[in-house]
Structure 1
């Protein structure tokens, strides 16, 4: 819980670090694989054991020529999920409107669901070697989903030293309006946010970052510190435990709800309409 994690930090007690708590590699110089294609090639036959991919594209159908049907606007992504940047898979699902424990629809705000895509490290240890820097992500499904979306919100994890603060979220991406709404809603929900423009390695401004490969050429990215991610789960110790306790944790609900409200504000704008 957020309150207990803050108290622990204030008391000077070391927070649980967990497997896969590593620095974000925004520049890519520490990556073992040059791209997702490189990883998939070198680890051929190991999908489902060493790594996994999950995504959902909602069916869209327009069989009536008399008018325009609703269309998809936003995709939620976790490029370094599972054991790589722990907690981002579950946050991706929660913001998309799904309960991580069973993938049932979970929209306590009454809003609609969003498409999602994630890459996950499934190793028992050493998942950091599966990290592929965002600008080098060439997964064809991830890129095609971004390209057919007006917006992408990408979830990442960083260390407190990188953010320059504890219990914080670095808000980045090239969509200035989405950044504003994320700052507004996350702060209103009680979370500390940091402008990505002050943290170049976490800013999410590269034009080949999937969050910016949208129909509008811009999107949003959140880099969430380890201690804050830990606080969002009733049990952070394992992938099954995180999935099981996510939506029952008040802080997880507040965080995902804030992100969903920011997206809803963005989707209400005039440039979100396709004629």
Structure 2
């Protein structure tokens, strides 16, 4: 396995900053999903100008890092957690994004205390209804901050919501998570961690619509050109909260939520321990 140098990371950061939005704007991404009202985040931001904070919101955190040492290499953030359809669009994914990144969704304190934290980015629907209109399919995500954060990370874990029918598990046990993305090893670690935690997992390769394998999917726009994507069924997300409203979810997470978050963080830790995750 090869290691990733700091020069490679910096080169990728510069490339992402310059080329990311241009690729989308030039029509390199596939046509927007048939049910999407907006062709990209830029289209949404333009047509809903002045509505941020009422119709939609964006949250992110980049952890400050510095390396002024000539002789010692300091750790570089490896993983960014994303929720491209948070808030009322695919409910529960905002809270999961914060928790998997290492922050309590209600207090924003580090959780668990002293545990590792990861960068995060999310787009959220804030309407009282019709939040589905704000959905922008992941291959058309051209938010500048999202592109720069993905392009500056070795890994992305992107969190989504789906129905049991879409996941192919409607029936006796609809609580499931579809594990996708282009990073094969990451997928293996995620499926192993969720399976050990008692969750039903589905290999994304068996559900093409949820596989997350398009190179322009925000989950795969990383330094390594691959990442992980989770599609979590409605029933499983409902089980994660005692009060399933935007105001109620952050403070009413359940044991199911805690198990899911712990499993995701276990898989990330296992991935980041690989030799090819070293920043030389």
TM class by shorter chain equals 0.7 to 0.9
Alpha-carbon distance in structure 1 between the residues aligned to 2:45 and 2:108: 25
Q: Deviation of residue 234 (structure 1)?
A: 1.9
Are residues 1:147 and 2:129 paired? no
Alpha-carbon distance in structure 2 between the residues aligned to 1:42 and 1:102: 33
1:10 corresponds in structure 2 to none
Alpha-carbon distance in structure 1 between the residues aligned to 2:200 and 2:135: 26
Q: Normalising by the residue count of structure 2, what TM-score does the alignment of the two structures yield?
A: 0.86
Q: Deviation of residue 50 (structure 1)?
A: 0.2
Q: Deviation of residue 64 (structure 1)?
A: 1.7
1:229-263, Cα deviation, whole Å (9 max, x unpaired): 00011221x111001112xx211110000000000
Q: Deviation of residue 175 (structure 1)?
A: 0.3
2:231 corresponds in structure 1 to 223
Are residues 1:182 and 2:156 paired? no
Alpha-carbon distance in structure 2 between the residues aligned to 1:27 and 1:261: 34
Where 1:120 maps in the other structure, the secondary structure is: strand
Q: Deviation of residue 27 (structure 1)?
A: 6.2
Alpha-carbon distance in structure 2 between the residues aligned to 1:31 and 1:75: 25
Alpha-carbon distance in structure 2 between the residues aligned to 1:213 and 1:273: 19
Are residues 1:97 and 2:102 paired? yes
1:239 corresponds in structure 2 to 246
1:11 corresponds in structure 2 to none
Are residues 1:74 and 2:82 paired? no
Instruction: Tell me if the contact between 1:27 and 1:201 (Cα under 8 Å) persists in the aligned partners.
Output: no
Where 1:224 maps in the other structure, the secondary structure is: strand
What does 1:97-136 align with in structure 2 at a 5 Å threshold?
Answer: 97-107=102-112, 111-136=115-140
Structure 2 residue runs of 5 or longer lacking an equivalent are 1-30
Q: Normalising by the residue count of structure 1, what TM-score does the alignment of the two structures yield?
A: 0.88
Q: Deviation of residue 111 (structure 1)?
A: 3.1
Q: Deviation of residue 179 (structure 1)?
A: 0.3
Q: Deviation of residue 66 (structure 1)?
A: 2.0
Alpha-carbon distance in structure 1 between the residues aligned to 2:262 and 2:44: 34
Alpha-carbon distance in structure 1 between the residues aligned to 2:46 and 2:32: 22
- Matched positions, count: 246
State the Cα RMSD in Å: 1.1
Are residues 1:260 and 2:265 paired? yes
Q: Deviation of residue 70 (structure 1)?
A: 1.0
2:92 corresponds in structure 1 to 87
**Structure 1 range deviating more: 110-119 or 71-80:** 110-119
Alpha-carbon distance in structure 1 between the residues aligned to 2:202 and 2:262: 19
Structure 1 residue runs of 5 or longer lacking an equivalent are 1-25
Give 4+ residue runs of structure 1 displaced > 2 Å after superposition. Answer: none
